[in-house]
Chain A
Amino acid sequence: MSFPVWLTVKTCVACVVLHALISIPIALWSSRSRGLMSRAVSFIVTIPLVFPPIAMGFILLMLLGRRGPIGIPLEQYLGLRLVFSEAGVILAAFIAGVPLMVRPLQAAMERLEILHLEEAARVHGCPPLMTILAVTVPQTWNTIISGFLLCVARASGEVGITMMLGGNISGRTNTLSLEIFNSVTRGEFDVAVRLCAILAGAGLILYVLMEKNRTKEL
């Protein structure tokens, strides 16, 4: 029972790092750009929200698998095998969380109030990158934090994409949520109940943090 818990915690932490490095810049860029490219990116990041996870996982498996158009060069040139590995589990949880991070943050960063503050900062000497760090990010901090919390919640409960990309291999890619499914199929209902209790506790903590963040004045 300890391996699924450990893997889930590791996946959640990795997702927070990936969202900080990838999702926040995507949200910032797509909120400032009006081109075709930005609209295409907005469409792509929304797909995991509107497309069934299991189907999404299947498409990713086809693309990233050993015979997939992305999987072949990844393995050939970088020696990276994403499917049926921990990396696949992390990637699945990350993809599931991307729209939850990018869409609200995009909306927050597009607000006229933020654009006005950026203008004030620029005129008072801030170069563009410093403006992002000193104004855009701190002024949208509540949205960023709530995005992280939502993504952690989504990552800890992800099943569909994870099952396809990770393969649900016991001791290697079975996350907490998948282990609940495995326990039930094995008839070990008491184990499933204990795992559910862990997820419920984590969910409750995330909810309290989200509420505290929501009511916190910036």
Chain B
Amino acid sequence: MLDVTLKKRRGDIVLDVAFTCRRPSIMVLFGRSGSGKTTIVQMLAGLVEPDEGVIRCGRDVLYDSGRRISLPPEKRGAGIVFQERRLFSYISVRQNLLFGHRFGGRPLKEGAFDKVVALLGLERLLHRRPNTLSGGEGQRVAIGRALLACTSFLLMDEPLASLDQERKDDLLRHIDDIPGNFGIPVIYVTHSRRELNGLADDVLFLGRERVTPAAKTAPLYPGGDVPTGRVRSATY
């Protein structure tokens, strides 16, 4: 269970969000560019300090402004996939996948490596260098690296934005399988309705007005398949 309440002032607007992500599920942060989606991911990862709020993952308090607790990024147990793949070019795909275990001391469960490699279809890429991978292959490796390093929750910040439609469809299938296979909450940022429809168990809409989830979700799900929103507020 990931329980988040965050406030952050950016210029003259205030990002004010609260949500709960039950495990295992995919919580989609949906909104236009500039709506603060990436800032939320950065705050969850510990890369940006919120003005105030609380981030709890199960029993662990990762951030609590009132109690002056702010764990550094390496102690939050998160995995992250960025829009760009951000792979380490001086080591092989195998070493990239094991980066969190080897250099970050993250535990590696027995059989986890083989499971991730099989799930993402990375068998033939293991000895290659990241610079020789295509866009889709590189992003699959980035997802694998994050999955193997992740012990608490997985953050995905528009991971498909730079790929063509065919690669997107292929990776969507892989991403959809993650919560069921690994039992972790996934926070997924996108501005694509296609990705929202394909992945969301829960959804947090970010807009410029106070959001009424039902009003926003209804037109997106004409078939009535509306995800159970856990949005408490998303205000500017």
Contact = CB atoms under 8 A, between A and B. Distances in A.
B146 A124 contact: yes
7 contacts: A116-B84, A120-B80, A121-B103, A122-B74, A123-B73, A134-B99, A141-B90
Given A121-B104, A124-B99, A125-B74, A138 B90 contact: yes
A4 B34 CA distance: 64
Given A122-B73, A123-B76, A124-B80, A117 B99 contact: no
- B-side interface mostly: loop
B90 A120 contact: no
Interface of A: 116-117, 119-127, 130, 134-135, 138-139, 141, 217-218
Contacts of A217: 131
Contact of B47 (A122, A134, A139): A122
10 closest residue pairs by CB, A with B:
A125-B104, A124-B149, A124-B100, A122-B73, A134-B103, A120-B86, A123-B80, A125-B106, A138-B90, A123-B73
Interface of B: 45-47, 72-74, 76-80, 82, 84, 86, 88-91, 99-100, 103-106, 131, 145-146, 149, 155
Contact of B90 (A116, A126, A139): A139
A35 B84 CA distance: 30
A139 B88 contact: yes
B147 to A, nearest CB: 11
Contacts of B80: 120, 123-124
A126 B88 contact: no
B89 A125 contact: no
Contacts of A138: 88, 90-91
A138 B88 CA distance: 9
